[in-house]
Amino acid sequence: MDTLEITEQAVRSMNTKMINDWKNWLLVYKFALDEVNTKLEILNEEFQFIHNYNPIEHMKSRLKSPESIISKLRRKQLDVTMENAREHIRDIAGIRIICSFTTDIYKIIDLLSRQSDVQVLKVKDYIQNPKPNGYRSAHMIILIPVFLTDRVEQVPVEIQIRTVAMDFWASLEHKIYYKFESEVPQSITDQLKDSAELIDLLDKRMLAINEEVSEYKQEEKEPSPFRF
């Protein structure tokens, strides 16, 4: 075996060890996801029990891979260290929550923010202030305590909250953009932005219908003043 082959083997071995070290380090982020998922499931079930209505349609959580984190650090021109990842990358652990109505989004933000062990670091409201391409969603970054055998770690988790309609648009927009390796034609971006406006109108219309239905149900519950 020549020197070049030995060197390549050593590099592969180092990379494998580094990836394994990162996977072990990421365990605490997995535990943070478990904690937040449990909180959200409890809030949703309690809301269903009390109000006969669940604000969360469904949730999806994901953990960035070591390769993805390392790539992001390099794009930021930062040294590839776990310390830099912890300090500069806030979306290592992420949860996407899909709701029926925009009011549910703010309800979830409020319920989470009022939990005593949740620290809200940042909220970005892309519903009231959409991105230039038309993207709408609410983003939160929270710190959640993870209790380990020898310490407690405060771990950041990014939460994206959207309506079903917003998620439909965002998913298709991502697929369309992914097909372009170079700059997206202006006509496509204009059509996508117009579609985002239609999605927003649809959300508002469905919310208005839901509120009207709620009013009818409330009237049915109220006793007639002429009933003895």
- Could you list the beta-strand ranges (E) of the chain: 56-63, 93-99, 119-125, 138-147, 152-163
Domains of the chain: 10-221 (3.30.460.10)
Confidence of residue 201 (pLDDT cuts 50, 70, 90): very high
**Residue-level pLDDT at 222:** 64
Burial class (CB in 10 A: 0-12, 13-18, 19+), 95: buried
Measured CA distances, 5 to 1, 13, 35, 38, 121 (Å): 6, 12, 46, 49, 48
Residues ≥6 apart with Cβ < 8 Å to 48: 54
The residues carrying an active-site annotation are: 158
Q: Is the pTM of this model over 0.85?
A: no
pLDDT tens digits, 23-73:
888 999 999 999 999 999 999 999 888 888 889 999 999 999 988 998 899
pLDDT tens digits, 172-185:
988 887 777 667 78
